[in-house]
Amino acid sequence: MPKYDVAVVGAGLGGLAAAALLSTKKKRVIVLERSGSLDRAVGIYEKDGYSYCAAPSCSYGFERGGAFYELSANLGIVQSVSAQTPSYQVALPDHRISIYPDQTETLAELRREFPREVNMLMRFYRDLQRLSENMTKSRLSAYLTTHRPAAWFIRKYHFSSELTAYFDIQALYFYQKPVTGISLLNLITLCDTPPLYLEGGFKKLADQLNSTFLHQGGEIVFNQPVHEFAFQGSRIIGLKTKKGVVEADTILLNLEHQSAASTIYLGLTDTVIPVSMCPEVLFLPDYSMPRDFLSLSLSAKDDIAHAPKGMRVMSMAHRSEQKSTVDMQALVDRISTLIPFLNDYLVFSDEHGSSEDKIVLPEGVTFKPVRSGEGRSPLLSRGSKKNVFLLENSLRSPLQVISEVNRFVKKVS
């Protein structure tokens, strides 16, 4: 087999994006995918006329300067995105807040739900607006806003634990960190800019990445599980496949984390869905576990491309820091507080977790997170053998995945 500049194991969204970007830089790239299609890129689920994916419906990063914007510009592809009204909902044990593209409407929701903290909230949003304006006037201010954590800023306001949970659940969902762990720039974005919905979803983006990659002369091989590295002495020179050794200067493993959360898919009758329910809902059932929440993505009404007529399909992902096994029925029962009589109108519930083939790491090969301007990367790691990288295929975190892809491509090219 010919030698490649880069071999990518796994056609996840990150693997496809890295392959497409590197191929435009005249790198010879091959993608080895264990399954028979691109459906794993976004966790496509299909059953009896129901079709949905694990990737979220909306995300940040499509705005100018964002990770998806940079990806699209570098590849010359066009993304159709839009803001919805309302954008999504945050459901706390005793509060329901709809998030709107117009900040004044969101503030009206917060006034209603947190009347005792209105003055602090108004000051908080005014100060954020001032910081945002300063960014456009000063390079130093823009640099500090991009690199300083939001912790020092948000702690000045002494918000209640309930209001802090409101900010936390959004930061954890969109940026995979509590609000005190994100950058000040991300806090401004979270409070001032609506996430955008991608037309066609991330499945369409995966198809565009694949098309661009193939057009640039890249190769993708399906039904090609990889279990071991190939060595020449102590140096990794490639990957062992059932068709032989694939030699490559650099190897990117785009694999799911062994403890990746499963996604639960629900088929349900349309009539049980509350009229006010948004397509995306972030639900925190218990204030005592502020980092354990559910994210719900619901297909549109009368969308027969995703569910039979009169039906809806919902994906439910559980984010938890607990190590215990998830009880699917217990999670379904929890969201019955949002959708009354859910069990009576439930057609099916199905759990899909990671079934990733494992790469056998040779003794002595370890991985450490790559450092970035915001500290250690949560998704991109470099091996103790310097030509091997690991990029977690996190289906629920496409923004972070593409951010790390952009960083990886700059590093290896």
Q: What is the mean pLDDT of the chain?
A: 91
Is the pLDDT confidence value at 43 over 70? yes
Q: Say yes or no to pLDDT of 258 above 60.
A: no
Q: How confident is the model at residue 1 (pLDDT cuts 50, 70, 90)?
A: low
Q: What φ, ψ does residue 207 adopt, rounded to 5°? A: -65, -40
74-92 per-position pLDDT tens digit: 999 999 999 999 999 999 9
Residue 164 pLDDT greater than 80, yes or no: yes
Question: Could you give the 3-state DSSP secondary structure of residue 131?
Answer: helix
> What does the pLDDT read at residue 380?
93
Residues 110-146 pLDDT 10s: 999 999 999 999 999 999 999 999 988 898 888 888 8
Residue-level pLDDT at 313: 96
CA distances from 247 to 20, 240, 384 (A): 19, 9, 19
pLDDT at 261: 62
Domain boundaries, the chain: 4-41+200-258+356-412, 102-193, 263-352
Concatenated DSSP letters of 72-88: HHHHT----EE--SS-E
**Rounded average pLDDT over 377-385:** 88
- Angle at 41 (CA atoms; ends 369, 198), nearest 5 degrees: 100
Looking at per-residue confidence, does 161 or 137 come out higher?
161
State phi, psi for 303 to the nearest 5 degrees.
-90, 90
The single residue listed with the structure tokens 């806090």 is 187
Confidence of residue 318 (pLDDT cuts 50, 70, 90): confident
In whole angstroms, what is the distance from residue 129 CA to residue 70 CA?
Answer: 25
User: Does the domain made of 4-41+200-258+356-412 have the CATH classification 3.30.70.20?
Assistant: no
pLDDT band of 260, cuts 50, 70, 90: low
* Rama region for 201: left / alpha / beta (φ>0; ψ in -120 to 50; rest): left
Residue 335 has pLDDT above 90, yes or no: yes
* Amino acid at site 238: G
Could you report the per-residue pLDDT of 266-317, keeping only the tens digit for each?
999 999 999 999 999 999 999 999 889 999 999 999 999 999 999 999 999 8
Query: pLDDT value at position 117?
Result: 97
pLDDT at 357: 55
| pLDDT confidence of residue 136 | 87
